[in-house]
């Protein structure tokens, strides 16, 4: 039988206003919409809290629950419904649900925290030159009040006999899951922490200044070890994995350490030559275009690309020539004279 009082973190003699206040606070904290990174776990907790509130806030349902709970308390320690009794009986039988082995010392199995995966969009300039980009994320952290124990002031731990203090049970085909009675902690709490409600973790807005290396590519991932979800039972925290997306400039293309851009000339500029201003990641550069430049010709501006350590890329300018679609009669005559003069030579 579920302990609705423990789920809401309230004493058994709690008044209705205390029940409502506890439910509002916990529902706000564990609503799935506020926990997108752990939606499944948050939804399970949220449903349990809602179920507990619906029973304890109704005087008739609460009276019936209290009577049933009192009868269940006469059963062996922590075994308070038929499912738990059956599980207790079946422990040790092959193929049936059973507690995980205790290795004789009831040592809780340390569990590695889950990794968190996020995307971070950065400006093109930072991607090319490197720099710092800020990231904010609401994630789970160890409760600072109880330091992860889940215990409230004056609270005590009681060994969970359902999992024999291991914190997990072995299901069919050998799969191990968190103990549904103690939620993987290996113990039960008589007075839960007022801050985390006995879960040992809270939601917190965390901030990072992410170092972006020069020349990082779109889709590349950065890993911050230990900045993921907290571990359990002394296990290490997971990692924060950041996938980079670059707010690209439409006029630049990255090719390794080189930056490529296009420059469009008209016919006269291509034939006679000209000087154009090229925008690079290191500022504007005046580029001389020699007479007779052909479409597709590339010019290199040395060391104006991406710097990675001792390697400095170049800026490559690829020439396009714009052919006019509509010309005047006089322009036609001039072009014909130009072509004729070329043939005579």
Say yes or no to pLDDT of 77 above 50.
Answer: no
Kindly list the strands in the beta sheet with 258-266, ordered across the sheet, starting from the edge strand earlier in the chain. 253-255, 258-266, 315-322, 298-301
Q: Is residue 187 part of a domain?
A: yes
Asked, for residue 155, whether it belongs to a domain, the answer is yes
Within a domain: residue 87?
no
Give pLDDT, residue 172.
58
Higher pLDDT, 263 or 341: 263
* Residue 46 domain flag: yes
Residues 278 and 340 in one domain: yes
User: For residue 100, what pLDDT band results from cuts at 50, 70 and 90?
Assistant: very low
195 inside domain: yes
271 and 191 together in one domain: no
As a whole number, mean pLDDT of residues 320-325 equals: 90
Mean pLDDT in residue range 294-323: 92
Tokens standing for residue 65: 């629950």
The mean of the pLDDT values for the chain is 81
Of 54, 74, 94, the position where a domain reaches its end is: 74
Same domain for 234 and 123: yes
Question: Mind listing the pLDDT tens digit for each residue in 214-270?
Answer: 888 889 999 999 999 998 878 899 999 999 999 878 888 888 889 999 999 999 899
Let me know if residue 330 belongs to a domain: yes
What per-residue confidence (pLDDT) applies to 266? 92
**196, 118: one domain:** yes
Task: Kindly indicate the confidence band of residue 345, based on its pLDDT and cuts at 50, 70 and 90.
Answer: low
Query: Would the pLDDT of 185 be above 90?
Result: no
In this structure, the answer to whether residues 232 and 266 fall within a common structural domain is no
Is residue 145 in some structural domain? yes
Q: What is the mean pLDDT of residues 116-125?
A: 92
pLDDT at site 132: 93
d(CA 218, CA 21): 47
Total Cβ atoms within 10 A of residue 321: 17
Q: Which CATH number characterizes residue 325's domain?
A: 2.60.260.20
How many domains is the chain built from? 3
pLDDT of residue 91: 38
CATH of the domain at 8: 1.10.287.110
Using the 3D structure, point to which of 240, 273, 303 is the last residue of a domain: 240
pLDDT at 7 over 70: yes
Residue 311's domain comprises 253-344
Q: Is this prediction's pTM over 0.85?
A: no
Residue 275 inside a domain? The answer is yes
> Last residue of some domain: 208, 240, 272?
240
Q: Which residue, among 30, 61, 279, 45, has the nearest Cα to 184 in the 3D structure?
A: 45
**Residue range 196-207: average pLDDT?**
88
State CA 199 to chain mean position distance. 21
Task: Tell me the CA distances in angstroms from 155 to 78, 158, 187, one per residue in order.
Answer: 17, 10, 12
- Given a cut of 50, whether residue 62 has pLDDT beyond it is yes
* CATH label of the domain that carries residue 227: 2.10.230.10
């Amino acid at each position: 039988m579920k302990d609705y009082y423990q789920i809401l973190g309230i004493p058994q003699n709690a008044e209705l206003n205390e029940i409502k206040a506890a439910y509002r606070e916990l529902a706000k904290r564990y609503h799935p919409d506020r926990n997108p990174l752990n939606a499944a776990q948050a939804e399970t907790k949220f449903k349990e809290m809602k179920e507990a509130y619906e029973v304890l806030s109704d005087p008739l349902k609460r009276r019936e629950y209290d009577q049933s709970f009192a009868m269940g308390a006469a059963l062996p320690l922590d075994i308070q419904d038929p499912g738990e009794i059956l599980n207790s009986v079946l422990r040790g039988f092959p193929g049936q649900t059973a507690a995980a082995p205790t290795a004789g010392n009831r040592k809780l199995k340390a569990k590695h925290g889950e990794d968190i995966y996020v995307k971070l969009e950065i400006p093109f300039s930072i991607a090319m030159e490197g720099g710092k980009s800020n990231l904010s994320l609401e994630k789970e952290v160890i409760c600072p009040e109880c330091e992860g124990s889940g215990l409230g002031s004056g609270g005590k731990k009681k060994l969970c006999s359902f999992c024999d203090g291991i914190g997990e049970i072995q299901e069919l085909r050998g799969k191990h899951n968190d103990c549904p009675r103690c939620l993987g902690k290996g113990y039960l709490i008589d007075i839960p922490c007022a801050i985390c409600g006995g879960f040992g973790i809270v939601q917190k807005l965390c901030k990072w200044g992410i170092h972006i290396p020069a020349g990082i590519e779109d889709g590349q991932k950065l890993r911050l070890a230990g900045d993921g979800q907290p571990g359990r039972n002394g296990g290490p925290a997971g990692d924060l994995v950041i996938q980079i997306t670059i707010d690209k400039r439409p006029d630049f293309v990255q090719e390794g350490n080189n930056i490529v851009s296009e420059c469009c000339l008209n016919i006269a500029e291509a034939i006679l030559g000209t000087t154009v201003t090229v925008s690079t990641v290191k500022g504007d550069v005046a580029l001389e275009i020699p007479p007779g430049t052909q479409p597709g010709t590339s010019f290199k501006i040395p060391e104006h690309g991406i710097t990675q350590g001792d390697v400095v890329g170049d800026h490559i300018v690829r020439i396009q020539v714009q052919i006019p679609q509509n010309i005047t009669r006089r322009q036609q005559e001039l072009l014909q004279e130009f072509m004729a003069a070329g043939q005579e030579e």
